[in-house]
Amino acid sequence: MPSVSTSILKLAAVVLSALMLSGVTAGATSRIKDLANVEGVRQNQLIGYGLVVGLNGTGDTLNNIPFTKQSLQAMLERMGVNIRGATIRTGNVAAVMVTGNLPAFATQGTRMDVTVSALGDAKNLQGGTLLVTPLLGADGNVYAVAQGSLAIGGFQAEGDAAKITRGVPTVGRIANGAIIEREIEFALNRLPMVRLALRNADFTTAKRIAAAVNDFLGTKSAEPIDPSTVQLSIPAEFKGNAVAFVTEIEQLQVEPDQAAKIIIDERSGIIVMGRDVRVATVAVAQGNLTVSISESPQVSQPNPLSRGRTVVTPNTRVGVTEDGRKLALVKDGVSLQQLVDGLNGLGIGPRDLIGILQAIKAAGAIEADIEVM
């Protein structure tokens, strides 16, 4: 029977080994399904123009929006009602644009969601019903027909002296609001080869995907053509059944690679840095120069019963302050976390950080591409 001390030593060795293994950081892997799309398997955008009726006086002003009035007249004439020359004073109709995405391999009779957006000066589409609206593709053909009641995410309420609006009440959605009338032919099973289109073009990722596919099949069936395309030859056992082939391939795990990049949004002050960003040894100092100008004009009035006049004398005060922070040293080859900690140690905000990153890049001390949105 082993002693207690021996058991403790074995337990400590097991715990130490577990800790050492947990300290090894492996790169995160993703499915090929999440890294690339099958070329040809895609959605198609549809658009249409229609009318929404049943609004509670929140529709278009017909005197100001001529296309709504013309559409209403044309629709009523198709129904056998002639209102040419008559004065229409309804606020319950709105002209709208209807948009939607035709799913890949969608068949006749299936349904799709559509979004309805006001085109004129309608204030609210709540409670409205979209009339039959053909949805056209880029080739001008009708692929679906939309109709139904709108679901509005926002609302608007107003009185004589106050108004409140939440969300966007002039945009609505109709779930399963369009019926697909035309299919787009694409014979996937008859293709001799399949091409994968990478969502983020990268030479290394394309090569790794091809290597993973070849290792799985045991043959050289995959070949990277360019950074965004991998061509797959369908093996003999999958001839005529490309769906099964793609199903097997898209579940393979691959570790994607990416270039070091810093994304800057000047409008909102958002900064996003990739994990591979590295910085050479550089010293950074940041200071704010503030100039304040205040105007307090003084009015000088003459004595009573005198012939003087009132004079306004300007009084301007100008102040200049400079908030200088200490020089901070950023060491060579630091990681993203160390870079963020070092810049945060300066106590600067996102706006100043944008200028610092651009200055470091200009000095040639940062190993990353800076993309300004």
Q: Which residue has the tokens 């900690």?
A: 341
**Exposure b/e, 199-220, CB count within 10 A at least 16 = b:** eeebeebbbbbbebbeeebeee
> Does the model's pTM come out above 0.85?
no
Q: Cα(277)–Cα(282) distance, rounded to whole angstroms?
A: 14
Task: Give the pLDDT score at 188.
Answer: 83
Q: Cα(4)–Cα(12) distance, rounded to whole angstroms?
A: 12
Task: Give the pLDDT score at 90.
Answer: 87
Task: Give the pLDDT score at 323.
Answer: 60
> For the chain, how big is the Rg over CA atoms in Å?
33
Cβ atoms of 70 and 80 within 8 Å: the answer is no
**C-alpha pair distances (Å), 318 with each of 290, 296, 315, 321, 322:** 11, 12, 10, 10, 14
Reported residue count of the chain is 373
List, in sequence order, every residue forming a beta bridge with 174; answer none if it has no partner.
114
Mean pLDDT split into 10-residue runs, the chain, 373 residues: 45 40 56 91 94 93 90 90 82 95 93 95 92 95 96 75 78 95 86 90 93 92 93 89 89 88 79 77 64 67 74 69 57 64 68 77 79 79
Task: Please spell the DSSP secondary structure of 240-255, one letter per residue.
Answer: T-HHHHHHHHTT-EE-
Task: Give the pLDDT score at 23.
Answer: 38
Task: Give the pLDDT score at 279.
Answer: 75
* Dihedral sign from CA coordinates of 30, 31, 32, 36: negative
Task: Give the pLDDT score at 258.
Answer: 81
Task: Give the pLDDT score at 325.
Answer: 54
Of 175, 177, 130, 179, which Cα lies nearest the Cα of 153? 175
Task: Please spell the DSSP secondary structure of 331-361, one letter per residue.
Answer: -TTB-HHHHHHHHHTTT--HHHHHHHHHHHH
Residues 6+ apart with CB under 8 A from 323: 287, 288, 290
Task: Give the pLDDT score at 252.
Answer: 93
